[in-house]
Amino acid sequence: MVTPTCLPTVLRRCHTCASGRFRANGKFRVNANHKLIDVWLLALCAACGATAKLTVVERAHVRSVRPGLLDRLHANDAVLAAELLQDPVLRRRNRIALDWDGAWRLDTGGTDHPGHEAIDVSVRFAAPVPVRPVRLIAEGCGLSRAGVERLVADGSLVSAVRLSGRLSGDFTFTLKR
**Please, what is the minimum distance in Å from the beta carbon of residue 94 to Zn ion?**
16
- Per CB under 5 A, 19 contacts Zn ion: yes
Judged by CB under 5 A, the residue of 6, 11, 30, 50 near Zn ion is: 50
**Please, what is the minimum distance in Å from the beta carbon of residue 62 to Zn ion?**
33
Judged by CB under 5 A, the residue of 47, 60, 65, 106 near Zn ion is: 47
Q: Which residues contact 60 (CB under 8 A, 6 or more apart)?
A: 36, 37, 38
| Cβ-contact 14, 53 below 8 angstroms | no
| Cβ-contact 90, 57 below 8 angstroms | no
| Cβ-contact 139, 106 below 8 angstroms | yes
- Closer CB to Zn ion, residue 16 or residue 108? 16
Which residue stretches of 5-144 are H helix?
Answer: 69-74, 78-85, 88-94, 133-141
For Zn ion (CB under 5 A), the number of binding residues is 8
Task: Report the alpha-carbon distance of residue 100 to residue 119 in Å, rounded.
Answer: 28
DSSP-derived 3-state class of residue 9 = strand
- Per CB under 5 A, 10 contacts Zn ion: no
Stretch that binds Zn ion, among 24-32, 35-43, 49-57, 148-156 (CB under 5 A): 49-57
| Cβ-contact 12, 95 below 8 angstroms | yes
Judged by CB under 5 A, the residue of 48, 62, 79, 118 near Zn ion is: 48
- Per CB under 5 A, 45 contacts Zn ion: yes
- Per CB under 5 A, 52 contacts Zn ion: no
Task: Report the alpha-carbon distance of residue 58 to residue 55 in Å, rounded.
Answer: 7
Stretch that binds Zn ion, among 6-14, 59-67, 124-132, 167-175 (CB under 5 A): 6-14
Judged by CB under 5 A, the residue of 1, 17, 118, 126 near Zn ion is: 17
Which chain residues interact with Zn ion by CB under 5 A? 14, 16-17, 19, 45, 47-48, 50
